[in-house]
Chain A
Amino acid sequence: MPLDQTAKSGTPFSKVGTRPLRPDGLDKVTGRARFGADMTAPGMLIGRVLRSPHAHARIRSIDSSAAEALPGVKAVITAADFLDRQDEHRDILVNVMAREKALYDGHAVAAVAATSAAIAREALSLIKVDYEVLPHVIDVEAAMRPDAPILHDNMFTSGVEPRPSKPSNVAARYQFGHGDVQAGFAAADVVIERSFRTEATHQGYIEPHACLASVGSDGQGELWCCTQGHFMVRDISAALLGMDISKLRVTASEIGGGFGGKTTVFIEPVALALSRKAGRPVKLVMSRAEVFRATGPTSSTSVRVKMGVKRDGRITAAEAELKYQGGAFAGSPVELGAMSAFACYDLENVSVIGYDVVTNRPKQAAYRAPGAPMSAFAVESVVNELAERIGMDQIDLRLKNAAKEGTRAAYGPTFGPIGLIETLKAAKAHPHYAAPLGPNQGRGVACGFWFNFGGQTCVSLNINIDGTVALAVGTPDIGGSRASMCLMAAEELGVSYDRVRTVVADTSSLGYNDVTDGSRVTFASGMATIKAAREAVKKLCARAAAIWGIPEDAVVWEEGQARPAGPNAGAFPPLSLREIAAMAPKTGGPIAGHCEFNAENAGPSFATHLVDVEVDPETGRATVLRYTVAQDAGKAVHPAYVEGQLQGGAAQGIGWALNEEYIYGPDGRLQNPGFLDYRIPVASDLPMIDTVIVEVPNPGHPYGVRGVGETSIVPPLAAMANALSAATAVRFTELPMSPPRVLHALEARRMAQAAD
């Protein structure tokens, strides 16, 4: 089957915007692709981690002598095997292996490497940890109370003047806004204020964290792992282990989903430390229960929103207070939640305050548009209620207040060209918006925003002797980005798509690349690819100029060929890339293009989601009937994978809205660390998810590309809540809207109606 299914179209692009097969596709449909747990090494040991059963406990001592004596055990490590750093890596160090205290159920306290999994398991049971169990706190509001158990004696809230005199669980306070909200509320005809809560949800990637580490007695190490950023893994692991960065080479495996959850380290430094101690390669793979207990879910939150509107639909003021718990360490995404809360609206008066709170839960990790879905849930719910109160269509109210080019965002900057209004209009014009609804059915709308990031990026593009192209990028491909890179390189070079091969190179082959996050890869690695290709084109033209004996600037590159720039440059038959490549050994050696830069002007992406649900009034169960996503992609490089991002984000948001949650017992232990009771949507839970790709070009990218991966999870929470509210005439302010919660609300409404 030919890989290249590109076809000429009416756009300025010949490759970009087509839907060729992905280059890594064959391996992934045949089982050949190698993911984190699929690698082995000669002499390999199996690692296992011992985890705290307590939510909060002082570790008085750890006795591993019996485990060390067990035949087949080759290494046992604890926190003492890592450098005791007090710098910016301190939290990661303590999260990777508990030091004085275990801070959550599942916190790693020791690890072993043995000749078999069975021996490693047995060894764990022989390690004696003497715990002094301490009072714990799980809930964000409870953690903020003055009498709450304190996790860190040295945590004094930042962002507060004067500096607090006592430690607390509030790591930081953030504030954004402009205008005069009090005056704004005074000018409003309708003011609505409500409080919302969301539970912690996990990214739920299907591939558990896995790695294979090998460190020799010469101090040189190799690490194979599934990660969104192998350069990050290298730098942090080297720091924790006291290694030179140059001595550790990290290779990113194929990655079985990340969604932000694989943007930090957990087991990688542990496997390296075990390998260093044992002198043999160590493979360490998490179980599903470990993934839930010990890797980052997102924050649970408590959010209060107040908004005022005039009868004509103009929003006069908006205010929000956000409290996000981020697990046992500072760093919840409350700042991003606060910055994004009102980003969809053109507001004169806006004020947002956020609190970053610690609790005895696993350290939160980024989850797709970290922080934004929760604040959008609250804000977009209130926006719908404003529309209901003034009798305005839910899309019309949003159109009237939508952020557009020139709008000053609540978090500071003034937007350039953005596509929110276009997505709202696309949603309104979609047949979905006019489809009839039956009894117990309701329709919800919500908008969403994500900043999008650029970041440090380095790529290398080499022209091979046969005219094919080898492109090395440093950003792990989590959703088909290699196909997009091939398309962009092919577009620039004028070669066919299947003559470009893109690989994710290891850390020794390229300069530093930031993690695959912030919806940055197609934008930033894509732009680097374009720049590298343009550099290669320049060199190809120079070679042609030399061959022809004319000046370099008298050569142009068109459709994959060097041509004389005009009649005055001389009459030479064009030289194809393949011809120039073949002559490279005699014309100056290899031809390559490189780019290393810090990408800026990523250009935010906005979306509008439409959803219809039906609620069973006797059981409270909601069924999603129809779902439509309209989102601005700037320029869709590979539209099939853009659609995939929009659909995937919507599905995750639906799960978050309806059934996903971290459930803790009174003992502070996670009760549902598995896919049976942590309920992500299954195929029969969802309808087809329709998509409308809006293209408002981003001026910060040569093709107009905007990242698309994250915005799609921002609107669904509120869109679902708005739909359920429309179906039941009850306003839902707590997630998940699980059947018991929905039925309880419906019963309360029926009781209230009966009392009237």
Chain B
Amino acid sequence: MRYEAPASIDKAVALLAAENGMSRILAGGTDLLVQFRSGSPAPDLVVDIKRISRMRRIVAENGGFRIGAAVPCAALGEHKKLVKAWPGIVEAARLIGSTQIQGRATIAGNLCNASPAADSVPALIAAGAIATILGPNGNREVPVEEVPIAPGKTSLQKGELLVSLFLPARPPHSGDAYLRFIPRSEMDIAVVGAGVCLTLDEEGVCTAARVSLGAVAARPLLVEEAARALIGTRLEEQALKALAAAASAAWRPIDDKRGTKEFRIRVAGVLARRAAERALARAKGNKIRGH
């Protein structure tokens, strides 16, 4: 295994393009090193992107934010403007593993690891985040929901590098939230995750909504039926019930060591509803306590 820590994106792309064997990007390493440890074949080349200063930054852009692929989750919570604009993204990032993990793990890595249960991904999908990907054939912009395609697999082509995630400007009267279900209070993989982002008009009617669920299918997905249950309503009881039903009906979860299918279906609806209520409170400007 060769380890390289280039100082520029161009150098990183060139290294990846030149490698004939298996190469892996090292961002936070919190999944990659566990994979090494579990006996997965070691890659021929590891490209550490943490020495690339552009990828270590969160910058304001067009009213939104661009988050470099090497920014650790802990840094998201320390960025006051980001926390104010996208609290749901930040709360999702701050749920990934422990304090120690958040000191290393990145949301770009969380996305590219392509786990169906990745905590930050439903929140990113709900927020309409865009991934910027650089490769031998240049730049492309992709909605985050199109990055993971199956457990452990992404739509990135050989030699491509996810450089940053762009969070658009948050419209007025909007709010986002992410909730997950785990058996303990911390340190578990999501059994179900739900991200909701919604926008209200001046009268408090929902004009736009995005709902995303994690850990209930082979990849985190955008659930349009669930969003439709909210649009045009004030999130009254009936709308929330319809949302929960749509969330529960949406996908085909599995039985595994972390939860039963029956449990996932039921809790997907519960969490979608709770996340929607949380997002609604934020859209109305209400403060919400953590934990």
Contacts and interface: CB of A to CB of B under 8 A. Distances in A.
In the complex, A touching B (Cβ < 8 A)? yes
B263 A677 contact: no
B248 to A, nearest CB: 12
A663 B260 CA distance: 13
Contacts of A618: 267, 270
Contacts of A663: 257
Contact of B181 (A619, A672, A684): A619
Contact of B266 (A677, A682, A685, A747): A747
Given A671-B257, A739-B183, 13 more contacts: A621-B181, A676-B187, A676-B189, A677-B258, A679-B188, A684-B184, A684-B185, A684-B186, A685-B184, A685-B185, A738-B183, A739-B259, A743-B267
Given A618-B270, A619-B181, A743 B186 contact: no
21 contacts: A618-B267, A619-B270, A621-B181, A621-B183, A623-B185, A659-B183, A659-B184, A677-B258, A679-B184, A679-B187, A681-B184, A682-B184, A684-B184, A684-B185, A684-B186, A685-B186, A739-B181, A739-B191, A739-B263, A743-B266, A747-B266
Nearest to B38: A289
Contacts of A620: 263
A216 interface: no
A743 B257 CA distance: 16
Interface residues of B, number: 19
A684 B185 CA distance: 6
Interface string B255-291: 0011110110011001000000000000000000001
Interface in B112-162: none
Contact of B262 (A675, A677, A685, A744): A744
A631 B157 CA distance: 63
A658 interface: yes
B194 to A, nearest CB: 12
A682 B98 CA distance: 11
Which one of A618, A620, A672, A675 has the highest number of Cβ atoms from chain B below 10 Å of its Cβ?
A618
A626 B214 CA distance: 33
Nearest to B264: A740
A735 to B, nearest CB: 13
B182 to A, nearest CB: 9
Contacts of B188: 676, 679
A618 B259 CA distance: 15
A657 to B, nearest CB: 12
A617 to B, nearest CB: 10
B257 A672 contact: yes
Which one of B259, B267, B291 has the highest number of Cβ atoms from chain A below 10 Å of its Cβ?
B267
A679 B191 CA distance: 13
Contacts of B187: 675-676, 679, 682
Can you list the 4 inter-chain pairs with the closest CB atoms, starting with the nearest?
Answer: A740-B263, A684-B185, A618-B270, A663-B257
Interface string B177-208: 00001011111110100000000000000000
Chain B interface secondary structure, helix, strand, loop or mixed?
Answer: loop
A640 B270 CA distance: 43
Which one of B187, B260, B291 has the highest number of Cβ atoms from chain A below 10 Å of its Cβ?
B187
Interface of B: 181, 183-189, 191, 257-260, 262-263, 266-267, 270, 291
A451 B238 CA distance: 59
Interface of A: 618-621, 623, 658-659, 663, 671-672, 675-677, 679, 681-682, 684-685, 738-740, 743-744, 747
A619 B257 contact: no
A347 B58 CA distance: 70
Nearest to A663: B257
A618 B263 CA distance: 10
A258 B262 CA distance: 37
B185 A682 contact: yes
A679 B184 CA distance: 8
Contacts of A684: 184-186, 291
Contacts of B257: 663, 671-672, 677
A659 B258 CA distance: 10
Contact of A744 (B263, B270, B291): B263
Contacts of A682: 184-187
Given A618-B270, A672-B257, A677-B257, A743 B183 contact: no
A92 B250 CA distance: 52
Which one of A621, A658, A663 has the highest number of Cβ atoms from chain B below 10 Å of its Cβ?
A621
Contacts of B259: 739-740
B30 to A, nearest CB: 12
A744 B291 CA distance: 25
Contacts of B262: 740, 744
B104 to A, nearest CB: 16
A685 B184 CA distance: 6
Contacts of B266: 743, 747
A229 B181 CA distance: 42
A189 to B, nearest CB: 39
B263 A743 contact: yes
A655 to B, nearest CB: 9
A591 B287 CA distance: 72
A685 B186 CA distance: 8
Contacts of A744: 260, 262-263
A90 B48 CA distance: 52
Nearest to A672: B257
A619 B185 contact: no
B189 to A, nearest CB: 7
Contacts of A671: 257
A599 B186 CA distance: 44
A676 B187 CA distance: 7
A682 B188 CA distance: 10
A747 B267 CA distance: 12
Contacts of B291: 684
A675 B263 CA distance: 22
A614 to B, nearest CB: 13
Nearest to B269: A618
Nearest to A677: B257
A620 B262 CA distance: 13
B216 to A, nearest CB: 14
A621 B185 CA distance: 10
Contacts of B267: 618-619, 739, 743
A688 to B, nearest CB: 15
Contacts of A747: 266
Contacts of A685: 184-186
Nearest to B255: A740
A677 B191 CA distance: 11
Which one of B183, B188, B262 has the highest number of Cβ atoms from chain A below 10 Å of its Cβ?
B183
Contacts of A738: 183
A86 B208 CA distance: 75
Contacts of B189: 676-677
A621 B183 CA distance: 7
A623 B259 CA distance: 18
B184 A740 contact: no
Nearest to A664: B257
Contacts of B184: 659, 679, 681-682, 684-685
Contacts of A672: 257
Nearest to B192: A619
B237 to A, nearest CB: 15
A618 B269 CA distance: 10
Nearest to A620: B263
A287 B266 CA distance: 37
A740 B259 CA distance: 6
Which one of A619, A623, A671 has the highest number of Cβ atoms from chain B below 10 Å of its Cβ?
A619
Contacts of A675: 187
A620 B266 CA distance: 11
A743 to B, nearest CB: 6
Contacts of B270: 618-619
A269 to B, nearest CB: 26
Nearest to A623: B185
B255 to A, nearest CB: 9
Contacts of A619: 181, 267, 270
A740 B260 contact: yes
Nearest to B267: A619
Nearest to A740: B263
